[in-house]
A and B are shown apart, each in its own frame.
Chain A
Amino acid sequence: MDGLAHQIVAGIATGGIYASVALAIVMIYQATHHVNFAQGEMATLSCFIAWSMVQAGLPYWVAFFGTIVVSFAIGVVVERILIRPVANAPVLTMVGVFIGLLLIVGNATGWIFGYTTKVFPSPFTSDGPLLGGLVSAHELGSTVVTLTVLTLVWAFFRFTKLGLAMRAAAYNPRSSRLVGIRVGWMLALGWGLAAAIGAVAGMMVAPVVFLDPTMMLGILLYAFAGALLGGIDNPMGAVLGGFAVGVLENLAGAYVVGTELKLTVALAIIIGVLVVRPSGLFGRVVFSRV
């Protein structure tokens, strides 16, 4: 029984990571109806930036917030340079640009920082077991961080004028433009925000999976699964989906298929959701009219 409880708690901790990445994907999907396949590689790059800052002697939390700022800037720049020129292009062009971005960012990371696995520091350490050995300090700390980020993002969209403007721009670009919202910049901000959220998720997962240029690929798959399970057009749903998928993954890994088929579990969830309920648990069912 203790084992089961531990699996669920550990699942919630990784679920928080999936939920963050899923939220980043959903934010971009809501605004542009495109899935950012490069979200994972961008987060990996952020982690390497944080790692370099820590190596250079900066305290962890300075590196942490510095990385968030840098990642935000990278997100905005990517939107301005790569995404904006093809905003009205066919889906195939868009997917191609995302794949190109994935290739460039992923391989440039390997090129600059090398392919050897690196140890990423965790800011959360403890002397004794927490909650009777149920949870590690890092699991607890990273869950708190991801929950804080998710709450902040929610509050930003719910209570600030800028958040409202971004939601309006995503929901109805033309009307938003008519009331004076700069829709293009709202999209760029959305990309920056998504990149920053991805960076936090990456920095929280890096101490667990170790830092290497391909570390986010599997996580991206689970984030996709979480986003689809919750409904790809519903941020709240995607977050819940992320947590659910994290718990599901841990339970399946511990009791059903073992750890070797973890990615296949994500694939099965994705196909299962799309076949049984393509709009996800909380998504809007979209009818297309002719």
Chain B
Amino acid sequence: MSVSKGLPADAAIAAIPLPAAATPAWQRIALVLLGLAAAIAPIFVLESFHLFQLTMAVIMALAVLGLNIVTGYNGQISLGHGAFFAVGAYCTAILMSHFDWSFWPTLPISAAVCAGLGYGVGFPALRLAGHYLALTTFSLAVAVPQILKHKSIEDWTGGVQGLFLVKPDAPFGLPLSSDQWMYLVAVIVAGACFLLVWNLIRSRIGRALMATRDHATAAEAMGMDIGSLKTKAFALSAMITGIAGSLSAVAIEFVAPDSFSFGVSITLFVGMVVGGVASILGSLFGGLFVLFVPNIAEAISKAAPGVIYGVILILFLFLLPDGFAGLLRRIAAKLRGRG
């Protein structure tokens, strides 16, 4: 049974970067070009509804990436990342609808607000390992819609009705519809964040994050400042999920308290496990999964997505604890071994 194998340990082994010599430079350049082409192609191929869905999948992937930093790479279980998603979305929505800001300048503001909030949540989280943190963030996720609906901030948040906003148009007279431009915006922002995290995880800080997860005492003995690492991981993770929230607000052109229910946090968690815990590529799969699987399942029944989510989550935990990314990695390793 593969269950008894430790998740983090598996992931840590897998996360060791392959020696650069394994893939020649021309192959890597070709891969990057291929990836770029694959990312841009949908603009010209898909009609606007499917393009919108793909935009949302990219945004969810970014949100899952945020969760993966703190839960996957740093081992702090968060069941409440929907809260940061909501705060990011509301930051952008409030700035755009009350102050007539355009979309781009709201992005750094909402990133900063979410990072600050993440730091604030991460600080007490230092005292809370494992279940206590899961429990606190779970409660946060359940309480969020109620806080957003509250009368005292209704003038800003629009209360139960929420806020409406408008997608930005393509700049410089580019011949793109607003849906096409929105997709491109999501891809550019998400691409930048993925690159940032990719480099971070392969740096000194990334190794320190994983060391803290795998053996906190040993990491501390090696001179790592566990407290500061954990809070910073939380802040970065909240920031990235918040940016995803900002993108989702403009992509949907609407924010309301009930779209940020407890379900969002659970969705992100499921996406992370299915895509692959502590895997950057896995976050991308997670985003695609959480967007497209419920759509397919909803054809059966309103409640079906939840049941199917639950069943898939448990099946992955039992059979494929390193997620879809882990499965691909094993297949690739096998092929390489044969060839």
Contacts and interface: CB of A to CB of B under 8 A. Distances in A.
A184 interface: no
Contacts of B4: 88-89
Given A103-B266, A108-B303, A264-B146, A93 B310 contact: no
A162 interface: no
Interface residues of B, number: 51
A101 B314 CA distance: 8
Interface residues of A, number: 48
A97 B136 contact: no
A207 to B, nearest CB: 23
A260 to B, nearest CB: 6
A110 interface: yes
A34 interface: yes
Contact of A91 (B131, B146, B147, B150): B131
B146 A260 contact: yes
A110 B305 CA distance: 12
A270 B139 contact: yes
Nearest to B131: A35
B7 A92 contact: yes
B338 interface: no
Interface in A78-131: 82, 85-86, 88-93, 95-97, 99-108, 110-111, 115
Interface of B: 1, 3-4, 6-8, 71, 75, 77, 79, 124, 127-128, 130-132, 134-136, 138-140, 142-143, 146-147, 149-151, 217, 262, 266, 269-270, 273, 277, 301-307, 309-311, 313-314, 317-318, 321
Given A92-B75, A95-B131, 14 more contacts: A34-B131, A35-B134, A37-B79, A37-B138, A85-B3, A96-B273, A96-B317, A107-B306, A110-B306, A111-B304, A263-B142, A264-B146, A264-B147, A270-B135
28 contacts: A37-B134, A85-B1, A86-B3, A90-B6, A91-B130, A92-B77, A96-B269, A99-B310, A100-B311, A100-B313, A103-B306, A103-B310, A103-B313, A105-B310, A107-B303, A110-B306, A111-B301, A111-B302, A111-B303, A115-B302, A217-B262, A228-B135, A260-B149, A263-B142, A264-B147, A266-B139, A267-B142, A270-B139
